Structure formats: structure tokens, C-alpha cells
């Protein structure tokens, strides 16, 4: 009976989201700049809010080390992993609330992973790790995750941010230096962690078994790391996160006419607006296009709202950084300019920042760990992480009907001459004020006198100035291809498609027009498969191994009444190590387990 109730709750959520977002698609692309009716206000209030928990590997890191994290996005209504947002934002901010490191990560059924390499130009100090979704920005009090991270940079001379102030404080900290908290092995009595031993020699295999005693699956992340002998703040656990009152985390009450942030349900949203240089020119229902240089797998055309606002959705499969162009398609396009909005972020009023403090007595430990990091990083090329491959998407138009590689033909001076001499079924014609344009012999029904132009792409970017392309130096062109099919993009209709590739892919390097805006899109970070040290062979016998982080598994699922068996190898660094496991069951129960072992 409980499962049926949860299923109905999830189904109801999806119905509300579908209706709500469909209304935002009508006329004004994929974003509601404002709630226009009381019905939309009601739909907005029925969408659950979200919370985020981040499990990260350590609250104390040195420059040259990695901060690894696993992110859980929780539906605040049913307390299960959320399917609402597909993008999450993770930032490391300093005591002045300045962002020093940031990433976007792709959420898959509420789960994401990532890492930050701590650079040597980051000063010693105390920082906060923040995480949130765009939908969370609508909450009364933005329920973003915040966790403490202290960073030591021994390569910089100024350590004022972390040095003890007086001898008394220095003495107190020295007494804490070797303090190790012995954790409870099972904070929630639903998982059991078994080790084959309690003590291990260096470079030995550690066998780890994790048993799920529940009748529901568990998603969890696992960190195995040397316990900090320098006193650091205790990390946030899932049970601490779960103690927050979910009734306090809800969206702000709104009325018709107020604006909101839409959830990024299908990918990243890019916001902007058009500005007219003359009040006589309309701002409403003006077509705007987005296209990318690094591929022809995504072109969008949307219409502006009454205030000139627009929003584009970059699909979740478009990952990696690239150059994109946003441009106005109106016949009076020269009368407009484009302004793009910054990515929204929470603005916390204050931080309860943990303060790490070091003393001269810690010098030996800091020096040793710094040397270990330098040695270990020097062998990174031998022990690299693997970045997950992104499936190459086909162009949005499929396969070209014909494609001419110009190196196979005699070169002519211009693209127009090349069409005449080489390319079959493509020619030029006059089109009123647009001058000379491309024309394609179409496969569609009997052509009416509709004066539609073909869609012209140069290096993947939509080009409106077709006469300029026709006069372009063909000796710089790699290929010309075309499709005769009629295309519909947004409300725009095109009689076929022309795709031109230049030899250097740089057609737009000197392209400077007011109605076109070039942007660099930093897409969600690609997931990694983290390197696992293996001593079953002699391959690494002569290579130093000074790892503090023995294992990091960001995403593991264990089925009901099952046992996961894992293994990893110890390093040359002796001391006490902690196994830290954090996660959630399918129905939202938090899981937090700690266990210690020794390397000697």
C-alpha cells in the first residue's frame, strides 16, 4: 500500500510539472518570466522543493590534493532522490563569499559526482562548499548545502589566515594534534561493514564487504582516507542533514505577475533579453537563435516574451565547453542588441565559517604531507583517472543528402563559383532586400511562392547574411553539403539546409555584429572513473606510493539483502584510516557508517 501511495505522489508531481512547463512553452519558449495567471500560481505551489546533500572526502586538504564529492538531490516532499532538476551547481567560496572554484554537474535520477583539484595559487584559509539547483532559488530560505573545507597552502609564505594568535591557543591546539575520534560503526543499523583484518601492512589488499539488511535498495558513496592528525572540523553526515525540518523548506508564496526560476528539467538553461535601440521596434515574439561552433547537433530558435526575455535549453547530452552564438533573426535585427544573464546563485547573508588554526609544532606533519603530495603528483601520468566518454551525437538534421569535399575538385575563388561549377542541385537567386541567397532543389511538395530561404550553417553556426557567404573565399572552405528537405525550427520555416565547413573552423573569428552575442558555454563536468592502485603485479614496485586517499567510489548501489564486496590497496603512508560511507535508501532513509583500520 505504501508503494502505491508513493507512486501516486510521483505521478502527480510529473503531471503538475508537465502542465506547468507546457504553459511556459506557449509563445515564450521554455521559460515563464512571470506567473501570468492564478492557475499557474497554483501549479507552481504544487511542485516540491529540493534539498542537496554532498558527501566529500575531507574537510582538510592541502594544495595539490583533490576534493572528491558525491551529490544527492532530494525531493523535499517524498524525501526520495529527485527527478525534477537535471543540473546542480557546486562552488567553493572563501571567507569573503568570493567563488574560487565552481562546477556544474549533471544529475542522473538525483545523483551526481565531481571533484576539484586544489591549485597552488589558493591561499591557506577556511572555505565553504556550496551546492544547489536553480529550482531551489525559489525557496523561502534557499536550502543550499554548505560544508566546511579548510585548505593549507605550504607553498605560500603568508599563513595569517590559519596561524594561532597566541601561545595559549597554540598550546591548546598542540594537545589536539593527535586526537582521533573513534566513530560508531553503524549510526543507522541497516548496513554492516566487514573488514578481513583490522591492521594491514603497506601495499596490501584490503577486502571490504558491505551488507544491506533492508528490503530496499541503497545508493551510497564510499571514501577511504587517512585520518587527519591536524585537528579539522567534523564533516556533515546524512543523518545531520536529515534532521533539518523539511516543512521549513518550501517555495516562496507568489502571486500572478511575480517571476520565478524554472527547474532545469532537461538540461542547462541560458537566459537573456533583447534590447531595442528604438522604442518603435517591438520586443515581443522576436525570434532568437542559439547555435554552437563545436558541432551541429544542437540549434534552437525561440521567441521572446513581452519584455524581450528569452531562454534556451541546452540538452543534457551536450557536455564540454564550447563557443556558442546567440542572434536575433528579425528582419530589423540590426536594431537590437543582446544581453545575457549571469547564472543565478544563492546569496547567503552570513556564513558560520569553521576556523582552522595551525601552530609551529605542526610543521613536521605539514612538511611531510606536502612532500608526499609533490612526489605522488609527479607520477600522475602513470596512474591517471579516466574521463567518461561522451557519446557523439549526430547533427540535428541527420545525414547530408550530398557532401562535397573541395579538396577532391578544382578550387574556385568564391563559394558562388563553386556552386556553379561543382555542387549539383544548389544555385543562387535574388530575394528582395536580402540580396543574393542560396536555393536548393527541394524534395518537398510543389513549391509555392512562399519565399522561404534555406537554413545556412557555417562551421555549425546559423548565418543570415547569405550573400556574404556566397562571396566568401572558397579556398578556405573544406566542404559544402546540403539537404533538400524542408525544416521547421521553432516558428521558422526553411527550404532545405546548407552546411559549409571551413578548413580552420574560424569563420566567425572576425564576426562582430550588435545582434549577435558570442558566449563560452561551460557545460556540466564529465564524470570520471578514478584510478585504483593494484599491487597484484610488480609493475609499480619501484614507484613511490604516498596516497592519503586509498579509495573513492562516488556512486554505488546495493540491492536489498545483498552484500557488496570491494577491495583496494594500502599505500606507503602508515597511520589510522577511516572508511566513510554516506547515502540514502530508495525511500529516503539516511545511511551513515564509519569504520577505522590501521596501516603499519
pLDDT 10s digits, 236-262: 999 888 776 555 577 888 888 888 888
Q: Which residue has the higher pLDDT, 295 or 511?
A: 511
pLDDT (0 to 100) of residue 349: 67
pLDDT (0 to 100) of residue 173: 46
Q: Look up the pTM and report it.
A: 0.86
The residue whose grid cell reads 536553480 is 134
User: What's the rounded Cα separation, in Å, for the pair 554 and 18?
Assistant: 31
Instruction: Quickly state the pLDDT bin for 489 (edges 50, 70, 90).
Output: confident
> Residue 475 above 60 pLDDT?
yes
Please state the rounded mean pLDDT for residues 181-192: 55
Pick the CATH number of 402-504 from 2.170.130.10, 2.60.40.10, 3.10.20.30, 3.40.50.11720: 2.170.130.10
Pick the CATH number of 50-249+346-390+527-599 from 1.10.357.10, 2.120.10.30, 2.60.40.1930, 1.10.3720.10: 2.60.40.1930
Query: 50-249+346-390+527-599 and 402-504: same fold?
Result: no
Q: Could you give the percent of the chain with pLDDT greater than 90?
A: 50
> Residue 176 above 90 pLDDT?
no
Please state the rounded mean pLDDT for residues 24-43: 63
User: What's the rounded Cα separation, in Å, for the pair 122 and 100?
Assistant: 8
Instruction: Quickly state the pLDDT bin for 112 (edges 50, 70, 90).
Output: very high
pLDDT 10s digits, 49-80: 999 999 999 999 999 999 999 999 999 888 89
Sequence-ordered list of residues with C-beta below 8 angstroms from that of 160, at least 6 positions apart, any chain: none
In DSSP notation, 264-312 reads -SSEEEEEEEEEESSTTS--TT-EEEEEETT-SS-EEEEE--TTSEEEE
3-state secondary structure 307-333: CCEEEEEEECCCCCCEEEEEEECCCCH
Enter the C-alpha cell of residue 275.
534590447
pLDDT (0 to 100) of residue 129: 96
> Residue 18 above 70 pLDDT?
no
CA–CA distance from 342 to each of 37, 50, 294, 376 (Å)? 27, 22, 22, 38
> Residue 9 above 80 pLDDT?
no
Instruction: Quickly state the pLDDT bin for 4 (edges 50, 70, 90).
Output: very low
Please state the rounded mean pLDDT for residues 495-522: 84
Q: Could you give the percent of the chain with pLDDT greater than 70?
A: 84
User: What's the rounded Cα separation, in Å, for the pair 216 and 218?
Assistant: 7
Domain locations along the chain: 50-249+346-390+527-599, 402-504
User: What's the rounded Cα separation, in Å, for the pair 497 and 455?
Assistant: 5
pLDDT (0 to 100) of residue 525: 87
Alpha helices in 102-247 (DSSP H): 167-176, 238-242
Residue 372 DSSP SS3: helix
pLDDT (0 to 100) of residue 254: 87
In DSSP notation, 64-77 reads T-EEEEEEEEEETT
Low-confidence winner among 283-292, 323-332, 516-525 (lowest mean pLDDT): 516-525
pLDDT 10s digits, 571-590: 999 999 999 999 999 888 89
> Residue 298 above 80 pLDDT?
no
Please state the rounded mean pLDDT for residues 182-196: 65
> Residue 437 above 60 pLDDT?
yes
> Residue 448 above 80 pLDDT?
no
Residue 9 DSSP SS3: helix
The residue whose grid cell reads 533573426 is 329
Instruction: Quickly state the pLDDT bin for 307 (edges 50, 70, 90).
Output: confident
Please state the rounded mean pLDDT for residues 3-19: 45
Q: Interior CA angle at 361 toward 357 and 364, to 5°?
A: 105
Strands 516-521 and 528-529: unpaired
Instruction: Quickly state the pLDDT bin for 351 (edges 50, 70, 90).
Output: confident
pLDDT (0 to 100) of residue 510: 67
Which range of 61-75, 307-321, 484-498, 506-520 scores highest in mean pLDDT? It is: 61-75
> Residue 205 above 90 pLDDT?
yes
pLDDT (0 to 100) of residue 11: 42
pLDDT (0 to 100) of residue 189: 56
pLDDT 10s digits, 514-572: 788 888 777 788 899 999 999 999 999 999 999 999 999 999 999 988 889 999 999 99
> Residue 94 above 50 pLDDT?
yes
pLDDT 10s digits, 357-403: 888 888 899 999 999 999 999 998 888 888 876 666 778 888 888 99
Q: Which residue, 262, 281, 63, is CA-closest to 153?
A: 63
* Summary mean pLDDT of the chain: 84
| Cβ contact 357:169 at 8 Å | yes
Amino acid at each position: 500500500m505504501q508503494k502505491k501511495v508513493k507512486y501516486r505522489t510521483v505521478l502527480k508531481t510529473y503531471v503538475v510539472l508537465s502542465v506547468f512547463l507546457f504553459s511556459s512553452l506557449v509563445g515564450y519558449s521554455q521559460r515563464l518570466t512571470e506567473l501570468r495567471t492564478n492557475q499557474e500560481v497554483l501549479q507552481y505551489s504544487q511542485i516540491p522543493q529540493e534539498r542537496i546533500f554532498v558527501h566529500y572526502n575531507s574537510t582538510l586538504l592541502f594544495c595539490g590534493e583533490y576534493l572528491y564529492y558525491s551529490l544527492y538531490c532530494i525531493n523535499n516532499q517524498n524525501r526520495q532522490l529527485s527527478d525534477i532538476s537535471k543540473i546542480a551547481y557546486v562552488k567553493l567560496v572563501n571567507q569573503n563569499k568570493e567563488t574560487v572554484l565552481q562546477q556544474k554537474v549533471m544529475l542522473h535520477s538525483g545523483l551526481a559526482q565531481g571533484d576539484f583539484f586544489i591549485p597552488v595559487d589558493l591561499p591557506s584559509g577556511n572555505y565553504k562548499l556550496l551546492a544547489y539547483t536553480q529550482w531551489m532559488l525559489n525557496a523561502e530560505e534557499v536550502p543550499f548545502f554548505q560544508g566546511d573545507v579548510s585548505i593549507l597552502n605550504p607553498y605560500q609564505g603568508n599563513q595569517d589566515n590559519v596561524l594561532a594568535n597566541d601561545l595559549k591557543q597554540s598550546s591548546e591546539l598542540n594537545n589536539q594534534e593527535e586526537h582521533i575520534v573513534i566513530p560508531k560503526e553503524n549510526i543507522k543499523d541497516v548496513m554492516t561493514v566487514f573488514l578481513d583484518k583490522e591492521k594491514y601492512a603497506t601495499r596490501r589488499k584490503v577486502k571490504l564487504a558491505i551488507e544491506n539488511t533492508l528490503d530496499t535498495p541503497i545508493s551510497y558513496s564510499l571514501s577511504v582516507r587517512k585520518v587527519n592528525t591536524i585537528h579539522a572540523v567534523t564533516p556533515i553526515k546524512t543523518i545531520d542533514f536529515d534532521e533539518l525540518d523539511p516543512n521549513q523548506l518550501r517555495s516562496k508564496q507568489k502571486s500572478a505577475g511575480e517571476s520565478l526560476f524554472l527547474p532545469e528539467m532537461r538540461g542547462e538553461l541560458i537566459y537573456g533579453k533583447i534590447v531595442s535601440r528604438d522604442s518603435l521596434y517591438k520586443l515581443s515574439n522576436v525570434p532568437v537563435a542559439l547555435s554552437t561552433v563545436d558541432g551541429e547537433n544542437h540549434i534552437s530558435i525561440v521567441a521572446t516574451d513581452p519584455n524581450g526575455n528569452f531562454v534556451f535549453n541546452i540538452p543534457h547530452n551536450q557536455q564540454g565547453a564550447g563557443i556558442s552564438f546567440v542572434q536575433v533573426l528579425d528582419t530589423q535585427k540590426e536594431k537590437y542588441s543582446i544581453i545575457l544573464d549571469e547564472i543565478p546563485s544563492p546569496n547567503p547573508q552570513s556564513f558560520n565559517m569553521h576556523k582552522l588554526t595551525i601552530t609551529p609544532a605542526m610543521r613536521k606533519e605539514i612538511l611531510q604531507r606536502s612532500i608526499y603530495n609533490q612526489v605522488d603528483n609527479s607520477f600522475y601520468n602513470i596512474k591517471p583517472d579516466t574521463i567518461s566518454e561522451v557519446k557523439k551525437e549526430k547533427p540535428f538534421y541527420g545525414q547530408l543528402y550530398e557532401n562535397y569535399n573541395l579538396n577532391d575538385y578544382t578550387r574556385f575563388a568564391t563559394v558562388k563559383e563553386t556552386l556553379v561549377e561543382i555542387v549539383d542541385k544548389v544555385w543562387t537567386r535574388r530575394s528582395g532586400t536580402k540580396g543574393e541567397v542560396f536555393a536548393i532543389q527541394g524534395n518537398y511538395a510543389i513549391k509555392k511562392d512562399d519565399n522561404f530561404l534555406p537554413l545556412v550553417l557555417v562551421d555549425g553556426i546559423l548565418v543570415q547574411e547569405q550573400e556574404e557567404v556566397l562571396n566568401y573565399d572558397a579556398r578556405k572552405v573544406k566542404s559544402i553539403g546540403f539537404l533538400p528537405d524542408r525544416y521547421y525550427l521553432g516558428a521558422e520555416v526553411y527550404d532545405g539546409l546548407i552546411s559549409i565547413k571551413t578548413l580552420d573552423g574560424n569563420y566567425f573569428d572576425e564576426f562582430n555584429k550588435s545582434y549577435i552575442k558570442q558566449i563560452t558555454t561551460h557545460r556540466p563536468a564529465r564524470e570520471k572513473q578514478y584510478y585504483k592502485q593494484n599491487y597484484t603485479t610488480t609493475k609499480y614496485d619501484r614507484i613511490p606510493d604516498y596516497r592519503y586517499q586509498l579509495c573513492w567510489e562516488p556512486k554505488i548501489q546495493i540491492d536489498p539483502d545483498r552484500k557488496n564486496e570491494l577491495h583496494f590497496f594500502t599505500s606507503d603512508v602508515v597511520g589510522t584510516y577511516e572508511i566513510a560511507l554516506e547515502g540514502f535508501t530508495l525511500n529516503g532513509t539516511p545511511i551513515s557508517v564509519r569504520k577505522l583500520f590501521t596501516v603499519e
